[in-house]
Structure 1
């Protein structure tokens, strides 16, 4: 979509030419365009910018943030429900909370350089608003809301499949699920013996190392897991072991 097409949807003079160029670059970098670019602009418009440009017609991103929060939670919930059939309701809830919490949303926003595109008032700019965690998290949610309104739920899921879901699959949030403690309790209840974890393999270059951990009891391997750290690999190995023990014991997945 060219800048001229965009301007047919946006009131002439409502934004400086530099802003139009900024969001044209954003769409090029992210790989898709908005049918209604006003939604994109609004997602990145902070209330401080609106307050300083009262003579122009602007809407801030707060309502989109409200919508995006709900859409994001639904999309993540469906992904977890379909991807992890053996997880309990409590486990799913904990994992979802870790994915949609402020620090995680800030990480996603930083990866996409969202801070660069936020429209701020001068005061907010001078006090570091562009890198403020709460602001970046809000912008990420607002963007999800805008994407939902412009392209629908499937487009949101496609976006999250690029930015969020791969991190979940490689165990980036496994630290919130203390599988090692759960496994220890299961083993103690059955008096099965001593649990041991060991790193059995390391893969990838030094700057992007992946560790493979195996968990054993009495010399018998119960499960393996891969992670970006040894602790993460151990947690995922424990999770695999829990799943195998439940199968052995005839428990429902």
Structure 2
């Protein structure tokens, strides 16, 4: 029998791989992209990544509480641990509509960073998963700084609501 965490992660990964799971990058201005991609912006990107990570933790926790109102702390903790993991962030990032970004971003990003939607490799080494997840958190932190918490929450709800249903079903199935 596989551990609960792995069972939930497998169910989420399968849901993300389905053709009907769609995701689009949150809309960032060209100025924000330029700031993120500037060669000298390394430390600021890390600060924004930290912010994006913290915001996702809070947003996913809030969404779990709202979407599963009778859930137990045990359920919430297990689902949040998987939904807020580098593995899931990386998989979601790979499904993002990368072609919706400005040309300068496409020149900067690579398959290693965001994959290529459905054609992204099934297995990526941990370093590539981490790099993709970090980039995902950076984009979300930048989106929050540009548009605010309400806009970020709405974006997360659109992407994560179906994943929460899948994660909850896997939790109870296990």
Tell me the TM-score normalized by structure 1: 0.45
The answer to whether the 8 A contact 1:99-1:173 is kept is no
Q: How does 1:140-159 map to 2 (within 5 A)?
A: 140-159=136-155
The answer to whether the 8 A contact 2:25-2:96 is kept is no
Structure 2, unmatched stretches of 5+, are 1-22, 100-104, 116-127
Distance 1:72 1:110 in 2: 17
Distance 1:67 1:152 in 2: 12
Distance 2:97 2:26 in 1: 16
Q: How many residues align?
A: 132
Give, in angstroms, the shift of residue 69 of structure 1.
0.3
Greater helix fraction, Structure 1 or Structure 2:
2
Greater strand fraction, Structure 1 or Structure 2:
1
CA deviation vs aligned residue, 1:5-31 (integer Å, no higher than 9, x gap):
xxxxxxxxxxxxxxxxxxxxxxxx948
Distance 2:107 2:140 in 1: 15
How much is the aligned-residue C-alpha RMSD, in angstroms?
3.0
Give, in angstroms, the shift of residue 87 of structure 1.
1.3
Residue of structure 2 aligned with 1:68, choices 52, 56, 60:
52
Greater relative contact order structure (CA < 8 Å, 6+ sep): 2
Verify: 1:38 aligned to 2:34, yes or no.
no
Q: Which residue of 2 aligns with 1:22?
A: none
The answer to whether the 8 A contact 2:25-2:98 is kept is no
Tell me the TM-score normalized by structure 2: 0.63
Residue of structure 2 aligned with 1:167, choices 163, 169, 173:
163
The answer to whether the 8 A contact 2:63-2:157 is kept is no
Q: Which residue of 1 aligns with 2:134?
A: 138
